[in-house]
Amino acid sequence: MTNAFEPPASELRPDPGPAPYESLTPELILDAIDNAGWLTSGSLLALNSYENRVYQVGLDDGSFVVAKFYRPQRWSREQILEEHAFCAELVEVELSCVPPLARDGETLLEHEGFRFSVFARQGGHPPNLENEDEVKVLARTLARMHAVGSRYPFAHRDRPTTVARARENVAFLTDNHWLPPEIKDAWASTAEHILEAIAARLPEDAATVRCHGDCHLGNVLWRDNVPHFVDFDDCHNAPAIQDLWMLLPAEPDEKAQRLNLILEAYNDFMHFDMRELNYIESLRALRMINHSAWIARRWHDPAFPLAFPYFDSQRYWSDQVLSLREQLGSVLEGSDPIL
């Protein structure tokens, strides 16, 4: 895709080199699964995933597994194994997540330079957040997850929801010519004002638990009145509200009503620190900034221009300035109401 605001040749973004999954062919994927001890049938279906590559793989006995090939150079072996260990802890207390399957005691496998894991296929659909009973079950389940996560912190996974990390991402976007010249100052100034406001509201030393980290509805499969959590790839240490705020609607009255419902059910299994309500809009603002930087850092991956075709355009960044200004107002308004 041609950049609508291409900088001079001397200032072009550096060539990142080959795409990270260039050599991940269907043959390599099937060979990896076969060599790990699962006999494949040759059936292979790519599933929706951008950060990693995830496939439904047919086995010779007619069943299916899901294989996740981790993005090279993203996580260390220790960080991935912490994800796996957290899932194992949740399964031990009969919480439904989808843990990696082991082969000879190993859950993190390697083939031709790629790290991968294999999972059982889990059916289901996103929970219906208009159904109060489903919201309560989801909130109680997250409370139980956080009770496990509060036992001790991750040792190798850092906390991405910080002002310091967002400032790194702002610098990346401004220093690597992602912003059109006529919008760059407005965007950078608005981002800095938001980060100053967040710094006064989101303590760096806030209490944290090990949490899912990316608890949107696409990562929860509902079946038989049970939420099955998938994709713990972004699990990290964070305030408990990190796993709750994405379940809230935008409309203020509906937001307050659902938040009360969530907290009432959550407190059945885990005490919720009400001070964390002050973090919601700050966390939302950090996600907005970090999301733009994430796309920019991954732009050399062919999947990203296809998935986000308007990202590399003046319109995208103009809309971002407006969205960030609106979000700044939300951050400055303070805590969320409780009815």
Question: Tell me: the pLDDT tens digits for 98-150?
Answer: 999 999 999 999 999 999 999 999 999 999 999 999 999 999 999 999 999 99
Q: Please state, for a pLDDT cut of 70, what percent of the chain lies above it.
A: 93
User: Would you name the residues annotated as active-site residues?
Assistant: 214, 231
> Does residue 197 sit in the same domain as residue 73?
no
CA distance linking residue 266 with residue 143, whole number of Å: 5
Within-domain flag for 140: yes
Chosen domain end from 96, 120, 144:
120
> Does residue 188 sit in the same domain as residue 298?
yes
Can you tell me the mean pLDDT for 150-162?
A: 93
pLDDT digits (tens, 9 = 90+) for 21-33: 999 999 999 999 9
Chosen domain end from 120, 148, 178:
120
CA distance linking residue 55 with residue 137, whole number of Å: 29
Within-domain flag for 5: no
> Does residue 67 sit in the same domain as residue 145?
no
> 45: how many CB neighbours lie within 10 A of its CB?
11
Please check whether residue 20 is in contact with residue 71, taking contact to mean a CB–CB distance below 8 angstroms: yes
Chosen domain end from 89, 120, 151:
120
Using only C-alpha atoms, the chain has a radius of gyration, in whole angstroms, of: 21
pLDDT digits (tens, 9 = 90+) for 256-280: 999 999 999 999 999 999 999 999 9
Residue 339 scores a pLDDT above 80: no
> Does residue 176 sit in the same domain as residue 57?
no
Tokens linked to 2: 């041609």
pLDDT digits (tens, 9 = 90+) for 285-295: 999 999 999 99
> Does residue 161 sit in the same domain as residue 193?
yes
Within-domain flag for 19: no
Within-domain flag for 7: no
pLDDT digits (tens, 9 = 90+) for 52-91: 999 999 999 999 999 999 999 999 999 999 999 999 999 9
CA distance linking residue 244 with residue 212, whole number of Å: 10
Within-domain flag for 68: yes
> Does residue 277 sit in the same domain as residue 216?
yes
pLDDT of residue 19: 78
Residue 11 scores a pLDDT above 60: no
Contacts of 220 (CB under 8 A, 6+ apart): 126, 127, 138, 227, 228, 229, 230
Within-domain flag for 6: no
> Does residue 82 sit in the same domain as residue 116?
yes
Can you tell me the mean pLDDT for 178-183?
A: 93
Q: How confident is the model at residue 338 (pLDDT cuts 50, 70, 90)?
A: very low
Give the CATH number for residue 274: 1.10.510.10
> Does residue 181 sit in the same domain as residue 289?
yes
> Does residue 242 sit in the same domain as residue 316?
yes
In the chain, how many domains are there? Answer: 2
User: Which pTM was predicted?
Assistant: 0.90
> Does residue 152 sit in the same domain as residue 231?
yes
Domain that holds residue 280: 132-333
Contacts of 287 (CB under 8 A, 6+ apart): 161
Within-domain flag for 2: no
Give the CATH number for residue 46: 3.30.200.70
**What is the residue whose two structure tokens read 């996974």?**
157
Within-domain flag for 304: yes
> Does residue 79 sit in the same domain as residue 219?
no
> Does residue 110 sit in the same domain as residue 136?
no
